[in-house]
Amino acid sequence: MSPAGPSARPLDPRRARLLAGAFGTLAAATVGLMTLGALVRAHGAGLACPDWPLCFGELVPRMNVKVAFEYTHRLVAGGVGAVFFVLAAAAWRYSATRRLLVAAAVLLAVQVVLGALTVWHLLAVWTVTAHLVTANLFAVALLLVCAQLAEQGRPRPRRRPARAAARVLLSCAAVLLALQVVLGGLVSSSYAGMACPEWPACIDGEWLPAIGGNVRLHLLHRLNGYLLAATLAAAAWAARREPGLAGLAALALALVLAQVAVGVANVLLGLPVEVTGLHTALAALLVATLALALRELWRGLRAGAPRHA
């Protein structure tokens, strides 16, 4: 049966709101799971369980600090997956969420495979980075399901599409943020977090030292972060009078500024575990916020109202 099959029927508003809250909570749990994953890396525990799906060939292994971090990460991930399928079954009757639910299920399956490959390939750069990117996409899919359900039974206000400047700047910010998440995964998995041990300079007072490898990767992550912050600042200004967009754009700007500050603290403090976890959590929240902003933006464009410059 297709996602928009004839058997689909709308949910009553109260049930939809309950499901929306449940999916929102699951999205928050997914952000927490990503933060836990960052803590696993920061503690050097990514291979504390050297096999998968078991740990040292056992369902419940003997524990130490590193094994506990990795094992808990696996348990929480399994719990998130199980809860998702229960909620997806409950929300399947609402036709507007079906494509999102299918997308989330596919992302979850890919994430499980990537988790296994990360162990089997001994924390290969590409598996760790893909694991982070897919986790963010899964959290976004859950959040979009939440938003769709929350609107069930509510009249949608008709709004004019956002001004061209806000559309362009928010779209550019989304591209830069996608690149930044990939770069962040590469920096983490390549152990390049301290490749530039200074800030605002990189090495020996030089801002752009002629060094390749991890230093270049670290610098790309920094420079793209600055560009993303500048783009979101311009987008927040351009969207300041746009209903539905102004608050999301302002929140995205606040999050990216906090993220830059935490990134600086990571370098100056030598990658403390707590700051590393916070860096990952803020990145996930920024991705979620910008995803909601783009949803609002494109809904306005699909409404077909006359655009204004």
Predicted confidence (pLDDT) at residue 309 exceeds the cutoff of 90 = no
Exposure class string for 266-279: b at 16+ Cβ within 10 A, else e:
bbeeeeeeebbbbb
How confident is residue 211, by pLDDT bands cut at 50, 70 and 90? Answer: confident
Taking residues 55-79, what's their average pLDDT?
95
Question: pTM of the predicted model, to two decimals?
Answer: 0.91
**Mean of per-residue pLDDT scores for the chain:** 91
Pick the more confident residue, 160 or 250.
250
Share above pLDDT 90 across residues of the chain, in percent, rounded to a whole number: 80
Contact 91, 23 (CB under 8 A): yes
pLDDT at 301: 64
Lowest average pLDDT, out of 2-11, 112-121, 157-166, 189-198, goes to 2-11
Taking residues 59-80, what's their average pLDDT?
95
Pick the more confident residue, 116 or 157.
116
Structure tokens at 11: 């949910």
Peptide bond into 61 cis (omega under 30): no
Predicted confidence (pLDDT) at residue 196 exceeds the cutoff of 90 = yes
Predicted confidence (pLDDT) at residue 158 exceeds the cutoff of 70 = no
Predicted confidence (pLDDT) at residue 54 exceeds the cutoff of 70 = yes
How confident is residue 159, by pLDDT bands cut at 50, 70 and 90? Answer: low
pLDDT at 160: 74
Lowest average pLDDT, out of 17-26, 203-212, 217-226, 257-266, goes to 203-212
pLDDT at 4: 44
pLDDT at 135: 97
Taking residues 191-202, what's their average pLDDT?
94
CA distance 270 to 280: 16
CA-closest candidate to residue 121, choices 215, 50, 174, 72: 50
Predicted confidence (pLDDT) at residue 82 exceeds the cutoff of 70 = yes
Predicted confidence (pLDDT) at residue 308 exceeds the cutoff of 50 = no
Predicted confidence (pLDDT) at residue 208 exceeds the cutoff of 70 = yes
Express each pLDDT in 20-44 by its tens digit: 999 999 999 999 999 999 999 999 9
